[in-house]
Amino acid sequence: MYRGSYVAIITPFKDNNLDEKGLVRNIKFLIENGSSGIVACATTGECPSLTDEEYERVVRISVEETKGKVPVIAGAGTNSTTKTIKLIQRVEQFGVQGALVVTPYYNKPTQEGLYRHYREVIEATSVPIIVYNVPSRTGCNILPKTVARLYHDCENIVGLKAASGNLDQVSEVQRLCGDEFDILSGDDSLTFPMLAIGAKGAISVVANILPDKVAMLCKSFSEGDLLKARKMHLELLPVVRAMFIETNPVPLKKAMNLLGMPSGKPRLPLVEMAEENVPILKKVLMDYGMEL
């Protein structure tokens, strides 16, 4: 079900308020340039910094603007099982096609705790659930055997956004769950290797500014043109690395501002990119052929 290039969209701000017109403009740009889907209010969207009202508006606008052309997945994970269930039930009413549920952060649950958390979440909703594993952010790593246990025990878990940076771990998930389970790369620098392992696509950061390139990389691989996919992967790599000079989405928002795209500043506690890193970012973008 989940294949190709899904874009983890930013939340654009203007004077520290949600820029709704900018959000609409960005979504149209992504759809027009071949993106397979939209992921709203996740890490790149600064979800922890949004008010409840802003969160609802971003998800609703995303659903309204895609008009069913591509799926919308809403970031809906918290470190409270009860709050996560309520949040997913809320976005279910907005018409999303999936919920991206990050592993509970700060609490440091065991693998059994993770299993029970996700099982309760999955059983409380009809929205397809994608597990989001990003240990560098959460301090919590869901292991392949736990993912497989959930997949075999629950009907409504459909995929994994893999952002552990561990290809062995992703390979083990693929081995245990098989081809019906949709693995999506959560690390732009590892999208091509993950596709080779069996991933179906990516939830991409860099696709915010290069949606056509990431979409083509995924399409080329799925059509068997591995040489073209590899070439695109290697060409994109410097831009991908530049997106993580500082904490995501700080470099991405700076890049979008430089490119004249709706973005605005990150919201506290994130701050704008350090001045010494701006020339590095500019050079990478210009070397790739982007006009600033």
Q: Which two tokens stand for residue 151?
A: 């997949």
Type of residue numbered 31: I
Q: Which residues of 73-87 are buried (b: 16+ CB within 10 A; e: fewer)?
A: bbbbbbbebeebbeb
Instruction: Please name the helix (run of DSSP H) or strand (run of DSSP E) that holds residue 102, with its range, or none.
Output: strand 98-102
In terms of Cβ atoms closer than 10 Å to its own Cβ (0-12, 13-18, 19+), residue 122 is buried
Q: Given the residues 55, 132, 219, 265, select the one marked as catalytic.
A: 132
Alpha-carbon distance 185 to 11, whole Å?
21
Q: Given the residues 2, 115, 161, 200, select the one marked as catalytic.
A: 161
200 is known as an active-site residue:
no
Q: Which two tokens stand for residue 182?
A: 């949709």
Q: Is the dihedral of CA 254, 255, 257, 261 positive or negative?
A: negative
115 is known as an active-site residue:
no
Q: Which two tokens stand for residue 94?
A: 């907005």
Q: Which active-site residues does the annotation give?
A: 132, 161
